[in-house]
Structure formats: C-alpha cells, structure tokens
C-alpha cells in the first residue's frame, strides 16, 4: 500500500488548519490528495478512498482529471491553475465524479508546496464533502453558497435562485432578464497593480453593481471578473435595457482604490426568459454570456441583447477561434511590410510589419477581423510575441552596408503592452535576434495609453531606455485629452486613417490634421500619415509639413516572399516623392 510520507502529512494538517478549526480536524472527515506540479496524483488518504470509491493504488500515478465530472467550464480550471501556479491558495466548490460515475460536491482548498529553493513541487488538496454536510457549520454553509471575496451569492447559489426565478416566470407568465456582466480590461489591473488591488476592485465593482439594482434583484459572482444579475417580473425588454444602461453609466465613473483612480468599464449581455429559446438555467446563462461577448465585440462599455442571429454569429466566432488556435500552433500567420517614406529625403526609412492570417477557405483575413478573437481566446500574447520576434529578425536580414539601415515598426496590442513581462519580452527579443534597438519602433494605440496615462508613461520611459523608438497610433482620435503628451517620451504620432480619408471633403478633418502637426512639431515630435491613397491627400500633407507618409499611393504591403526587396537598391535608392508628384 502506498503510504504518506511525514512531509505530506504535515502539509495536510497545515492545510486543514487553514481550512477550518484545528481542534475539529480529527472529528471531521477531510479527504487529502497530493499531486505533482502537473496534476499527477502522488498520495491520497483513506477518506479520499472512501469518498471517491478509488483505492490509492488505482489513482496514484494518474492525473487528477480522472475526477472531472464535466460540470465545470474551462474557466474554472483556468482560474485554478493560474492561482496555484502563482503560489496562492485556491478555494472553491468542486463537483467531482467518483469511480462508479456518481457525482459529489466538495469544498476544496488547494495549496502549493515549495521546496527550499522556492520552487513549487506539489499541490495539496484538502476537501470537505458537502453531500455529508449536516448544515450545522455556519462557516461551511457560507463558503458553500457565497463568494468569499465579495460576499455575493456564488455560481451555485445564483444558479439555484435563477432556476427558481425561471419556475416562477413559467407559472405566472412573467418576464425575467438575466444580465451577464464582465469587467473590461480587468486583467491589466492584476498584471500592473497586483492581485490585492485587483481583489479590492472586484469588491468595489460588486457594490457598484448592487447599487444599480433593486433590493429584490439577485446579484452573483460567477468567477473572476464575471457577475450576473436576474431581474424578475419586469415589464418589457426596454426596462432591462434601461437597467443595463444604468449599470454601464455607473461603471464609467473611475474606482478609487487606495487613493488611486482606476478606470474599469463593463460589458453586459442580456437574455430574456421566456422570450428566447433557453430551456434550462445553463441555456439562459450561456445566452447572456454570448450577448456580453457581442457587446465586447462592438467596442466594450455597452450592452447587447441575445438573439438567434447572434447565436449564429457566435457559432461562426467559435469556429474561427478554433482555426486561430490551430494557426497559432503552426504557420498560419505571416507578416507583410509596408514602406514608410521620409518626406525630407523622399526615401523609405522604415517598414511597418502587418500581420495576416491565411485561411484555406477564405483567403487572407485582416487583423481587424481576427485580432479581437485572438484576445478573447487568450492567444493574443503568444501571437504578439511571434510578430515582434519575426519582425525583428526580418529587420536584421534587411541590413546592407551600402545603404542606411531600415527600421521596422511593430504594432503593440493593449494586452501585450500592459502585460507585466512586456519590457522583459522586448529586451529578450532584441538580444536574441541581435537587432540594434534604434531600428525598432513600437506603435501603441492612444486608447491603450490613456487607459492609465501615468502608468503608461512609466512603461514608455522604461522602453526608451532600451534605445528603441515609440509611436502613438490613432493619435487624437477623439481630441479629448492631449495633456498626457507633454510627459510621454514618444518619437512619432500617427494621424488616424479616418482623418486622412476625409481630406478631400472634410473641413473639420483638415483643421484637426493641421492642429496635430503643429502641436507635435511644437513638442519636437514627428508626425506620420498612414493610408495615403491619392494625389490630393499627398499634396495637402506635404503643404502642412507632415514628416512621414505611408499608404497604397506609395506601395501596398509587400508579401513575405517579396519583403527581401526592401533591402535592394531599387527600393532603398528610390526617391518616391518627385516621381509621384509629377
């Protein structure tokens, strides 16, 4: 028989002490399971054997996923692994499957164990079976039904209340609304300000959500930054929409956490019962979830209703997500490079790396179509780093002693920019590819920088210390906040494409472009215009002393197989402007 070593027994006792009253340890039946860092079981105690029906010999050496019941979504296990791999304790209700297929519920505390070097070597899970719970332990009752951080009903209690609301709606022919709320850009808060601040933000968000609803409405926290509310006996869909708008407006106000303002909006999805096709609680939650993602797809900070048409779009979205996952694992992406022309010399001085995705069925897909899907699927970081590394390596290959060196410009996604390891990633890529930092320019959207202007300025300053250049993309899109620019160490501003496209017809756009150029030059910052496609646009930009030009008027983005031409004399020695103005 496999026996527990003293180290495991000590850690098991410690975890039980963290889980409940140490004086009751011997009287309460806790199951204990020890796994390695990959989830392979190394030890189970007799209570585990009694509870699951498995003997120690049957499970030791197997992965703990043999206990999976299918009742938890992928997000539950993602939260589990993210938490324990950070070295933190994870506590929640697990719905598991025993040896003969029966389902049981446990309150489990999963704790990481570190060796003397600080590396995680094991995970210890201590569980209390709820099936045997008599209801006498108030603390256990609270843990079983309420979220420990926010005090709101947890997923299980909320589902039970939603089930009862649906039964009442059927019986009384009433209308209810299930509202799914997800915080926008919550992950960067955790990555940049730390999880304690993130937890305080979640608590504040829960209180703000409750303040927008009636006392009779139920609010619950499902997981992470996901919340749900159920509105019973509402008059019509308009009422649900009005409540959703009230919530959206409420979350537009900044949160003040430890005397620091944090901007964190929300996206909402609404499913109405019994108007839509939902039959079960899971159906209704799923429909509201789909509507929430549709709200995010339309720019976040808003709400959407579920519809059958939306369902079809979500199905297509899921198919694209799977194809993108396959593409990120293989060679499904490639880069094209579009030249940037220096007005002072008329010559190409840089090229922007533009990611493309080749779908066998649909040809080329632009990043505007697929990048939001990459972000929602958790693939953005992997693909963004691939773009950075590939572009830097290509820039190294462009080098020719006879010509000035050519810079490469790389677009940086919001998720990549705000990730805690972004600086380290840039430094590592530059070192490993051997690219001189002065030949790399990072393009960051103004919207990304304005999310937290003081902190983004700190990030930009650290990046400047590497020696690279920085560009603000889509600058002054809303012209609402330009003061941050005084303290931001950028080298280039890119005028939004929407302004360039209206040079012919828009007097306001021409005035804005003129003002952007004047402001930038006053601050010793150069200005680039992307999307130049006509002689009229070119003439206007030259007259107003724009510094850098880019667009199909000069060259379309070159495919990967032709990118080598950028190092040839025909391109590097070419004066674009006189010929094009003739």
Examine the domain organization and report whether 240 and 342 are in the same domain: no
Contacts of residue 137, defined as CB under 8 A and 6 or more positions apart, other chains included, come to 20
In a domain, 257, yes or no: yes
The CATH number assigned to the domain holding 356 equals 3.20.20.450
Examine the domain organization and report whether 102 and 191 are in the same domain: no
Examine the domain organization and report whether 325 and 225 are in the same domain: no
Examine the domain organization and report whether 503 and 544 are in the same domain: yes
Question: Where are the alpha helices (H) located in 275-421, listed in sequence order?
Answer: 281-297, 308-329, 367-376, 380-397, 414-418
List the chain pLDDT tens, one digit each, 582 residues.
Answer: 333 344 444 444 444 444 444 344 344 578 999 999 999 999 999 999 999 999 999 999 999 999 998 877 776 788 899 889 888 888 888 888 999 988 888 888 999 998 888 889 999 999 988 764 444 455 555 656 788 789 899 888 899 899 999 999 999 999 999 999 999 988 888 777 888 888 899 999 999 999 999 999 999 998 889 999 999 999 999 999 999 999 999 999 999 998 888 999 999 999 999 987 778 898 999 999 999 988 998 888 999 999 888 878 777 777 888 888 888 877 789 999 999 999 999 989 999 999 998 876 666 677 877 887 888 777 888 999 999 999 999 999 888 777 778 899 999 998 899 888 999 999 999 999 999 999 999 999 998 888 888 888 999 999 999 999 999 998 876 555 566 777 789 999 999 898 999 998 888 899 999 999 999 999 999 999 999 999 999 999 999 999 999 999 998 998 766 766 777 766 777 888 864 444
pLDDT (0 to 100) of residue 494: 94
3-state secondary structure 145-166: HECCCCCCECHHHHHHHHHHHH
Model confidence, pTM: 0.58
Examine the domain organization and report whether 192 and 252 are in the same domain: yes
Candidates 69, 14, 75, 4; CA nearest to 41 is 4
Q: How far apart are CA 92 and CA 73, in angstroms?
A: 14
Examine the domain organization and report whether 213 and 140 are in the same domain: no
Q: How far apart are CA 539 and CA 553, in angstroms?
A: 12
Q: How far apart are CA 565 and CA 266, in angstroms?
A: 46
In a domain, 521, yes or no: yes
Examine the domain organization and report whether 381 and 269 are in the same domain: no
The vertex-346 CA angle with 469 and 543, nearest 5°, equals 95
Domain end among 121, 144, 167: 144
Beta bridge partners of 336: 354
Q: How far apart are CA 84 and CA 15, in angstroms?
A: 14
DSSP character string of 183-247: ETTHHHHHHHH-HHHHHHHHHHHHHHHHHTS-TTSEEEEEETTEEEEEE-S-S-HHHHHHHHHHH
Q: How many structural domains compose the chain?
A: 3
E-state strands within 436-487 = 440-445, 469-473
Q: How far apart are CA 76 and CA 81, in angstroms?
A: 9
DSSP character string of 35-68: E-TTSBEEEE-HHHHHHHS--HHHHTTSBGGGGB
Instruction: Take residue 56 and report the two structure tokens written for it.
Output: 């120690």
Q: Cβ(188)–Cβ(381) under 8 Å? A: no
pLDDT (0 to 100) of residue 15: 45
Domain end among 276, 306, 336: 306
Examine the domain organization and report whether 417 and 544 are in the same domain: yes
Examine the domain organization and report whether 89 and 231 are in the same domain: no
Contacts of residue 204, defined as CB under 8 A and 6 or more positions apart, other chains included, come to 255, 257
Read off the DSSP letter of residue 567.
G
Q: Cβ(338)–Cβ(352) under 8 Å? A: yes
Q: How far apart are CA 204 and CA 251, in angstroms?
A: 10
In a domain, 171, yes or no: yes
In a domain, 313, yes or no: no
Classify 97 as helix, strand or coil.
strand
In a domain, 1, yes or no: no
The CATH number assigned to the domain holding 138 equals 3.30.450.20
Read off the DSSP letter of residue 419.
S
Q: How far apart are CA 168 and CA 174, in angstroms?
A: 8
Examine the domain organization and report whether 340 and 292 are in the same domain: no
Examine the domain organization and report whether 540 and 449 are in the same domain: yes
In a domain, 235, yes or no: yes
The residue with tokens 């009752």 is 141
Residue 173's domain comprises 155-306
Domain end among 144, 172, 191: 144
Q: Helices H, strands E: what count in the chain?
A: 22, 21
Q: How far apart are CA 81 and CA 565, in angstroms?
A: 46
Examine the domain organization and report whether 40 and 104 are in the same domain: yes
């Amino acid at each position: 028989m496999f026996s527990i070593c003293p180290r495991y027994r000590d850690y098991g006792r410690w975890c039980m002490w963290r889980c409940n009253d140490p004086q009751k340890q011997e009287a309460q039946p806790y199951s204990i399971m020890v796994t390695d860092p990959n989830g392979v079981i190394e030890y189970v105690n007799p209570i585990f054997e009694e509870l699951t029906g498995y003997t120690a010999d049957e499970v030791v050496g197997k992965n703990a996923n043999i206990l999976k019941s299918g009742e938890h979504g992928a997000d539950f296990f993602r939260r589990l692994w993210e938490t324990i791999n950070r070295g933190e304790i994870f506590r929640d209700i697990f719905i598991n499957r025993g040896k003969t297929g029966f389902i049981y519920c446990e309150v489990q505390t999963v704790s990481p164990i570190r060796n003397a070097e600080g590396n995680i070597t094991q995970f210890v899970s201590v569980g209390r079976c709820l099936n045997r719970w008599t209801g006498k332990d108030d603390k256990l009752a609270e843990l079983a039904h309420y979220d420990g951080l926010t005090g709101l009903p947890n997923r299980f209690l909320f589902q039970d209340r939603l089930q009862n609301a649906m039964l009442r709606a059927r019986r009384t022919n009433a209308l209810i609304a299930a509202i799914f709320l997800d915080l926008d850009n919550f992950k960067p808060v955790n990555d940049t300000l730390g999880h304690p601040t993130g937890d305080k933000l979640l608590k504040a968000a829960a209180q703000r959500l409750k303040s927008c609803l009636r006392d009779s409405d139920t609010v619950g926290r499902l997981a992470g930054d996901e919340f749900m509310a159920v509105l019973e006996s509402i008059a019509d869909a308009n009422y649900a929409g009005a409540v959703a708008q009230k919530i959206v407006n409420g979350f537009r106000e900044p949160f003040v956490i430890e005397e620091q303002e944090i901007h964190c909006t929300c996206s909402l999805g609404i499913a109405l019962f019994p108007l839509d096709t939902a039959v079960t609680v899971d159906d209704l939650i799923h429909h509201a979830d789909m509507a929430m993602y549709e709200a995010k797809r339309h720019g976040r900070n808003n709400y959407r209703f579920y519809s059958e048409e939306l369902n079809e779009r979500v199905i297509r979205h899921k198919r694209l997500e799977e194809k993108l996952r396959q593409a990120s694992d293989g060679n499904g992406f490639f880069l094209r490079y579009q030249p940037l022309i220096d007005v002072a010399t008329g010559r190409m001085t840089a090229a922007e790396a533009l990611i493309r995705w080749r779908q066998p069925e649909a040809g080329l897909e632009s990043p505007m179509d697929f990048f939001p899907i990459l972000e929602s699927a958790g693939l953005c970081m992997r693909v963004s780093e691939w773009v950075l590394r590939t572009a830097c390596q290509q820039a190294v290959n462009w080098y020719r002693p006879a010509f000035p060196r050519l810079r490469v410009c790389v677009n940086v996604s919001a998720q990549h920019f705000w990730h805690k390891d972004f600086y380290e990633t840039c430094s590592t890529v530059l070192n490993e590819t051997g690219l001189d930092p002065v030949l790399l320019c990072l393009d960051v959207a103004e919207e990304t920088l304005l999310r937290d202007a003081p902190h983004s300025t700190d990030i930009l300053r650290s990046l400047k210390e590497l020696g690279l250049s920085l560009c603000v993309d889509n600058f002054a899109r809303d012209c609402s906040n330009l003061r941050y620019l005084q303290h931001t160490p950028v080298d280039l501003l890119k005028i939004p494409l929407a302004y360039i496209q209206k040079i012919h017809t828009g007097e306001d756009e021409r005035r804005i472009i003129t003002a952007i150029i004047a402001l930038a030059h006053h601050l010793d910052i150069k200005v680039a215009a992307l999307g130049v496609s006509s002689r009229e646009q070119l003439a206007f930009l030259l007259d107003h002393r724009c510094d850098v030009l880019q667009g199909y008027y000069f060259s379309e983005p070159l495919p990967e197989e032709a990118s080598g031409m950028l190092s040839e004399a025909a391109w590097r020695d070419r004066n674009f402007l006189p010929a094009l103005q003739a």
